[in-house]
Chains A and B, each alone.
Chain A
Amino acid sequence: MEIEILHAKSGKQITRLDHVDNYSTVLDLKKWIYKQFPRYYPARQSLRLEPKGRNLSDEETVRSLDLRVGDRKLYLRDLGPQIGWKTVFLCEYAGPIFAYLLFYLRPAFIYGVTKTKTHPVVHIAFACWTFHYVKRVLETQFVHRFSHGTMPIRNIFKNCTYYWGFAAFVAYYINHPLYTPPAYGDLQVYPALAGFVINELGNLSIHLAFMNMRPPGTKTRSIPYPTGNPFTSLFSLVSCPNYTYEVGSWVCFTVMTQCFPALLFTIAGFYQMTLWAIGKHRNYLKEFSNYPRSRKPIIPFLL
């Protein structure tokens, strides 16, 4: 059969695809379009049934689209230059590692020549921060199974500004020669450190659980349930325990370092993750009629 491809914005015909059969997928269509228009690689294309309709997923078949004979047309929207999620994540997470390291070394061009001793918590904070971001890089490389391959290229500027900017903001003060250690000393630092470690392990456990729920190369979604790992029991209470643990890590980091910029970073992260958690929670509820109603998006019983 033949399918017409129209421009979503102007309605004008871009091309006609022939030799299409019922078992061709949306991705196949995108590849054929790409052959004719080398600029429009598949990741950049959004095909839909209506100009402003829902984006059709790559796996859907022509048959499932149920196009009427004589009126077989799809609308193509250009999503703009795309960049891979993995690429963006690696870039975002590498920055904070190097930025924090820079300030940790107390370069003279930032702090002037200084001879003050550093309190142990400054070294611990460096270790925690670096561990957190190295963990993220490793997870990006080996654990996460992304639903989308790409995102618009402008996101990389926005995201890197956020991560790198906050890294410099927090690192500048903790590594400052005039840094004031926590008011309650060891009584504040070590329990907070323990909390940090627990939350990092929790976050990692959730990421591994998600990985195991999704066969490699697929985009399967299923209701998450607690596994053998006790950290995953948080699934009974929230949809996104990975975010819960992440907020927990940063709260502990803030308490451990007693640093107001770290608090601001924690609040910003909490705000963003809450928005994401609410979105994911709603998607779960929409997709699964048997989704446990007692669960909250991010904070057990509350939010």
Chain B
Amino acid sequence: MAAGGKAGPKSPSKPRAVPGPGPLAHGWLVLYNIVLTAGWIAVLYVYIVHVLNNPSPPEVYSGIYDSVEVVLKVFQSLALLEIVHAALGIVPSNVLLTAFQVFSRVFLLWGVAHPFKEAQTSLGMSLCIAAWTITEIIRYSFYTFALLKMKPYVLQWCRYTFFIVLYPIGVSGELLAIYSALTPAAEQKAFSLEMPNPLNFSFYYHYFLVGGMLTYIPVFPQLYFHMVRQRRKIIGGVTKVVKKE
């Protein structure tokens, strides 16, 4: 789901159908990716500092969100721009796929973590933030180099290898975090609408969250094995390290 993130925009399986960004767009994209790499490194820094200062459970994980909250919110929310990039065609990614991935992260952050303290302090939250952070640092730095016409094999290898472990960790974290939000969501009737009302409609947020959790069942395996196939294609068990471009 959101955790892996590498089955994402600019996945090399999509051949460039557009001629590529013009010089202005190119410059913007380089700036964007540098800023986001730096942002997620900042998240990592705050994360590590927190862990070092609070080595014992439960604070070691329950206080993570509180420490990284601002930086995380800023840089994860900025990812919404990637939908615009795809829509404008300055990156060769599919708009719908990009939107789906960005929204699922943004939803977890603003729809699960932000409203519910129980989710913020859950073990799941600290796990998925860790997975997101490592993934995004590798992803954005990879794109930065790619835009500058460099493709360091090390980064490519990391991108297509780390997911094997990070993706399941991230997904587990996300599911645990959503699970922690279920009871408070039901008790508070958060974001819910009950009958009677002039719209003649009802919406129960905690059922919506349960539905969300269920969607991981069909979606996660597909995304995971897509990455596995990508890995085979791109660095596919090749022992020779060929540095191209």
Q: Determine whether the beta carbon of B198 is less than 8 Å from that of A183.
A: yes
Decide yes or no whether A174 CB sits under 8 A from chain B: yes
| Chain A residues positioned under 8 Å from B200 (CB to CB) | 173-174, 176, 179-180, 257-261
| Chain A residues positioned under 8 Å from B199 (CB to CB) | 258-260
| Chain B residues positioned under 8 Å from A173 (CB to CB) | 195, 200-202
Give CA–CA (A258, B198) in the complex, Å. 7
Whole-angstrom distance between the Cβ of B196 and the nearest chain A Cβ: 4
| Chain A residues positioned under 8 Å from B201 (CB to CB) | 173, 259-261
For chain A, what secondary structure do more than half of its interface residues adopt (helix, strand, loop), or is it mixed? Answer: loop
Whole-angstrom distance between the Cβ of B137 and the nearest chain A Cβ: 40
Q: Which residues, 218 to 250 on A, are CB-close (under 8 Å) to B?
A: none
Interface residues in A, total, Cβ within 8 A: 12
Give CA–CA (A261, B201) in the complex, Å. 7
Q: Which residues, 175 to 217 on A, are CB-close (under 8 Å) to B?
A: 176, 178-180, 183
| Chain B residues positioned under 8 Å from A176 (CB to CB) | 195, 200
Decide yes or no whether B53 CB sits under 8 A from chain A: no
Whole-angstrom distance between the Cβ of A185 and the nearest chain B Cβ: 13
Give CA–CA (A229, B197) in the complex, Å. 42
Give CA–CA (A178, B193) in the complex, Å. 13
Give CA–CA (A176, B201) in the complex, Å. 10
Q: Mark A250-268, 1 if CB is under 8 A from B, else 0.
A: 0000000111110000000
Whole-angstrom distance between the Cβ of A134 and the nearest chain B Cβ: 24
| Chain A residues positioned under 8 Å from B202 (CB to CB) | 173
Give CA–CA (A183, B200) in the complex, Å. 11
Q: Which residues, 37 to 93 on B, are CB-close (under 8 Å) to A?
A: none
Q: Mark B175-201, 1 if CB is under 8 A from A, else 0.
A: 000000000000000000001111111
Give CA–CA (A243, B134) in the complex, Å. 51
| Chain A residues positioned under 8 Å from B197 (CB to CB) | 180
* Chain B residue nearest in CB terms to A264: B201
Give CA–CA (A261, B202) in the complex, Å. 9
* Chain A residue nearest in CB terms to B201: A260
Give CA–CA (A261, B200) in the complex, Å. 8
Whole-angstrom distance between the Cβ of B155 and the nearest chain A Cβ: 40
Whole-angstrom distance between the Cβ of B189 and the nearest chain A Cβ: 16
| Chain A residues positioned under 8 Å from B195 (CB to CB) | 173, 176, 178-179
* Chain A residue nearest in CB terms to B198: A180
Give CA–CA (A21, B196) in the complex, Å. 72
| Chain B residues positioned under 8 Å from A259 (CB to CB) | 199-201
Could you show 11 A-B contacts with beta carbons less than 8 Å apart?
Answer: A173-B200, A173-B201, A179-B195, A179-B200, A180-B197, A180-B198, A258-B198, A259-B201, A260-B201, A261-B200, A261-B201
Supply 13 further A-B pairs (C-beta < 8 A) apart from A174-B200, A179-B195, A261-B200: A173-B200, A173-B201, A173-B202, A178-B195, A180-B196, A180-B200, A257-B200, A258-B199, A258-B200, A259-B199, A259-B201, A260-B201, A261-B201
Using a CB–CB cutoff of 8 Å, the interface residues on chain B facing chain A are: 195-202
Q: Please provide the 3 A-B residue pairs with the shortest distance between their CB atoms, ordered closest to farther.
A: A260-B201, A178-B196, A178-B195
